[in-house]
Structure 1
């Protein structure tokens, strides 16, 4: 684990909250939720960030990859076969974050890599 990830984990342990990251798999009656609990910082958006699909009900979420990697979420492809662009472990638009019991749709995701290592994930959620 890099120093950047360790520092983020420590900050989230002090001032973050538990959320559930959710990816839906399958369709109809066969749809299942693939969940992982993550520590995250959840904040409202500022006035200058309200553009396009971002509204007053949107939130910014910052999370560490630590819990995602430990849980091997969401399962599937071996890590050796993916790239930063195709890594299924990175949350994506249309996944969900359950925050304070409310399921919210992920609109935007910005994974941050330091020295080739996934170090942080910044997301905008709505709902």
Structure 2
């Protein structure tokens, strides 16, 4: 079984090879807090078109590496039991190919208690 560190390293290598540059953005009252990331961005396949997910949405796979390295979005570390503010969440934004899109769904993946990947659906 692969360690969480190896899973992240493998994902980072795959995204470097076949991903694209995106910007993850959290809007605050006073400004935008951005972090540059690599991600795999694809159209949503037909099996995932349910509820509020549409064919115009995009499926995004990203690593936690750039987010954690940048300390995004800043601020204090989460209190025990509180939601981790570093996780992308619905109502954050992602700039893909120069176009700002809203995060509709964020599905962080953990292995051995460590965040190793995030699957997102973005729209707009």
Give the TM-score category using the shorter length.
Answer: over 0.9
- The 5-angstrom pairing of residues 90-101 of structure 1 reads 90-101=87-98
Deviations 1:19-74 (CA, angstroms, capped at 9, x unpaired): 00000011xxxx31000000000000111211111111101000000000000000
| Cα RMSD, aligned residues only | 1.3
In structure 1, stretches of 5+ residues that fail to align are: none
TM-score w.r.t. length of structure 2: 0.93
Change (3 A) 1:13 1:82: farther
SS at match of 2:85: coil
Matches within 5 A, 1:46-85: 46-79=45-78, 81-83=79-81
Q: Distance in 2 between matches of 1:95 and 1:78?
A: 19
Kindly report structure 1 stretches of 4+ aligned residues shifted beyond 3 Å.
Answer: none
Question: What CA distance in whole angstroms lies between the structure 2 residues aligned with 1:126 and 1:73?
Answer: 22
Give the length in aligned residue pairs.
121
Q: How far has the Cα of 1:82 moved from its partner?
A: 4.5
What is the Cα deviation at residue 109 of structure 1? 0.5
Residue 77 of structure 1 contacts residue 88 of structure 1 at CA under 8 Å; is this kept in 2? no
* Within-5 A mapping of 1:1-127: 2-26=5-29, 31-79=30-78, 81-83=79-81, 86-127=83-124
Q: What CA distance in whole angstroms lies between the structure 2 residues aligned with 1:82 and 1:63?
A: 25
Instruction: Tell me the TM-score normalised to structure 1 length.
Output: 0.91
